[in-house]
Structure 1
Amino acid sequence: MANHPFTYQPLPVRVVFGPGRRQQLAAEAQRLGLKRVLVLSTPGQANTAEHLAALLGGLAAGTFSGATMHTPTDVTEQALRVVHDLNADGVVAIGGGSATGLSKAIARRTGLPQIILPTTYAGSEMTPVLGETSGGRKTVIRDQAVLPKTVIYDVELTLTLPPAVSASSGMNALAHAAEALYAHNGNPLVSVLAEEAIRALGQSLPRIRHSPQDLEARSQALSGAWLAGSVLGSVDMALHHKLAHVLGGTFILPHAELHAALLPHTLAYNAQAAPEAMNRIARALGRPDEGGPDPTGRNAPQLVAELNRRLGIESALKNLGLPEAGLDEATTLALQNPYANPTPLEREALRELLQRAWSGQAPR
């Protein structure tokens, strides 16, 4: 790829990384000139949101703990009323993709600056991408206006993330990096970052699964998620993300688990058309003690499927709540306004991909 022309635009996001760095929250808010900050979270993170409000002290205007999966527009409207009632001049989001999505939706409508403190490996905090759900359909936009001003990566905030959730969240991030490797507008720097993200996540997630308090493994996973989010924000995504948006928004499936279960199949769909990307993925997931590609010769889709199994991740979409009767509808929706993809989208092949993912079969 280095011999081909490309364009690269770094994203203007300030990153504060390290254990305990949440203590810098008030200083970051002051740096942005904020005086009345609303803290956002899901219901499950309400206590953590109150903790951040305490760290903000007099800069905290209040909390809103109603964020939910896939960023429903009705929840955004509720939060906007709170923003208005409290006269908030900025927002802080604590959590994963749900809290970050709500923060982005508010920023897009109000122009308010955001500070994000991730507690998962979703990576969406580093992207100008917002997916919103309304009327059973998910709409995805790319707009620099939804980028946060600052992201604070405090690994201590991830220590309570359950191992199973850590695993699926990390595979969600790995999917971002994998698709960046065959993006039609990719470039050499993105490829290097994406491969390193896959390597970091592939090495750290099994350790976290068995030792959830391993601070070194948690830090490695968080840095991998940061890199994966960065590359997701720098290039366009392809078939994998299109399917995840369609299935997640239409059938309200769990976001991270959906990404993890789909990824071996979407990689297999694109394998022949993107051999360099597959080689990079296989090299990144190779055994660390071998210092190179997997010595058994397994390919990228197989290695990702095996990593899912090692992490105990559900492989069948039917067990995530996708009805078999919805596969035809999902195929039709995926073919509408398709994302650029290395392998052309064909209805029969796409329907077969979804059937195999639904039943939990090995990637073709």
Structure 2
Amino acid sequence: MQPFVYNSAPSRVIFGRGASRSLAAELDRLGLKRALVLSTPQQEEQSLSIASNLEWRLAGSFHEAAMHTPSEVTAVGVRRASEVNADCLVAIGGGSTIGLGKAIAWRTDLPQVVVPTTYAGSEMTPILGQTEDGLKTTIRNPKIQPQTVIYDVDLTLTLPAQISVTSGLNAAAHAAEALYARDRNPVISLLAEEAIRVLTQALPRIVDDERNVEARSEALYGAWLCGICLGSAGMALHHKLCHTLGGSFNLPHAATHCVVLPYALDYNRTEIPEAMAAMSRAMGGVDAARGFRALAKNLGAPTSLQALGFEEADIARAAELATENAYWNPRPIELAPIRTLLTHAWRGDDL
């Protein structure tokens, strides 16, 4: 895939091998001089290595990003930004780090530059999902959207295959729901179908060869498209279920999306024939719900909530939470059918 630079409103996208080397130049273009670099504890070394070319522009760093963006971590990050007099945030990593950057930006109005290292897709959205007191909520606001996203394919070459699969299928879920979102449109539908096609073809090749640069490029391209879909169209049942399971039961974000997606699609299938047909086309003619489950299974990803540590005894409570303040969905979200859906997902039943 040829490197490219893409400008959208309001985000600017820089894509290509070695693209992260343009980080300092991008801050200069934006007139930013004091960056706070963010990452998870596990990516501290990598993030500081990438940020080393910032030189005098590096004001400080904060490496406590955590899954589901807990508000208590954000509060510490806000204080750190104030301590170093940061005029911008540079988030280097996956969804946890990107979420932290958005949460700090929401509270401080600091501009953001994001360097994704996974296939999260959330970097392209004005959406913040954060957790407080065991509940995950979402905010959509233009000031949450990063100013620039730098996609460096080389940074994904060391992403383990299994994390690549769950991260990629998490991204694909964004495209899947965009196909039947209440505010869908033809342009986003085209992007969503292309994103699913590209990702579902790239992930098996990455499992076969983690250093396959072309497959990595296509997967990152697909994740970018999925992020545009998520940022441009609403969310429905699948995302509500995953936010509930992640925020209230602390299940791993990407893996939960990977498990739940087939069951959410099966729940909605009678109400979304056009979306199911589009996904089937993208996946080579297979049924979308069964196809996503088979792909996860064949690539060694988790296929049940039980495998993620979710307790059977918590199904009833999760169903109650998922039906409270439910997102719009093409099929009514009702307690008994949702409890049944979660039971099937907990067992990993065939569809």
Could you tell me the TM-score, scaled by structure 1's length? 0.93
Structure 1 residue aligned with 2:168: 170
SS in 2 for 1:272: helix
**1:259-315 per-position Cα deviation (integer Å, ceiling 9, x unaligned):** 0000000000011100000011111011xxxxxx2xxxx411111111111211111
What residue is the counterpart of 2:299 in the other structure?
A: 311
Q: Could you tell me how far 1:239 is from its partner in structure 2?
A: 0.1
Aligned to 1:47: 45
Give the structure 1 partner of residue 197 of structure 2.
Answer: 199
Amino acid in the other structure paired with 2:151: Y
Instruction: Look up the match of 1:356.
Output: 344
- String of CA shifts for 1:27-61, please: whole Å, max 9, x gaps: 11011111110100001110112113311111001
1: CA distance, partners of 2:346 / 2:156:
30
2:136 alignment partner in structure 1? 138
* Partner Cα separation in structure 2 for residue 187 and residue 245 of structure 1: 24
Q: What are the residue-to-residue correspondences of 1:337-348 with 2, within 5 Å?
A: 337-348=325-336
Q: For residues 208 and 310 of structure 1, what CA distance do their matches in structure 2 show?
A: 13
How far the C-alpha of 1:359 sits from its partner, in A, is: 0.8
For 1:197, what is the secondary structure of its paired residue? helix
Write the distance in 2 (CA, Å) between the matches of 1:158 and 1:152.
Answer: 12
Q: Output one character per residue of 1:312-344: Cα deviation in whole Å (capped at 9) or x when no partner.
A: 111110120211111111111111111111111
The equivalent residue for 1:239 is: 237
More off after superposition, 239-248 vs 346-355:
346-355
Report the AA paired with residue 48 of structure 2: E
> 1:228: which partner in 2?
226
1:57 counterpart = 2:45 = no
Stretch moving more, 149-158 or 42-51? 42-51
Question: What is the deviation of 1:11?
Answer: 4.3
Query: Within 5 Å, which residues of 2 pair with 1:313-332?
Result: 313-332=301-320
How much identity, in percent, do the aligned residues show?
Answer: 54
Correspondence for 2:90: 92
Residue correspondence of structure 1 range 22-171 to structure 2 within 5 A? 22-171=20-169
Query: In the alignment, what sits opposite 2:252?
Result: 254
Task: Rate the CA distance shift 1:333–1:11 in 2: closer, same or farther, 3 A.
Answer: farther
Aligned partner of 1:32: which letter? L
Give RMSD over aligned pairs: 0.8
- What residue number does 2:3 align with? none
Q: Could you tell me which amino acid in structure 1 is paired with residue 49 of structure 2?
A: H
| Match of residue 4 from structure 1 | none
Q: Tell me the equivalent position of 1:289.
A: none
Question: Once superposed, which parts of structure 1, at least 4 consecutive aligned residues long, lie more than 6 Å away?
Answer: none
Once the two structures are superposed, residues 94-119 of structure 1 have per-residue CA deviations (whole angstroms, 9 ceiling, x without a partner) of: 00000000000010000000000000
Q: Output the CA distance in 2 between the equivalents of 1:25 and 1:256.
A: 27
Task: Tell me the amino acid that sits aligned with residue 22 of structure 1.
Answer: S
Specify the alignment match of 1:21 in structure 2: 19
For 2:327 and 2:35, the matched residues in 1 are separated by 37
**Where does structure 1 lack aligned partners over 5 or more consecutive residues?**
1-9, 287-292
Name the SS of the counterpart of 1:94 in structure 2: strand
Q: How many residues align?
A: 344
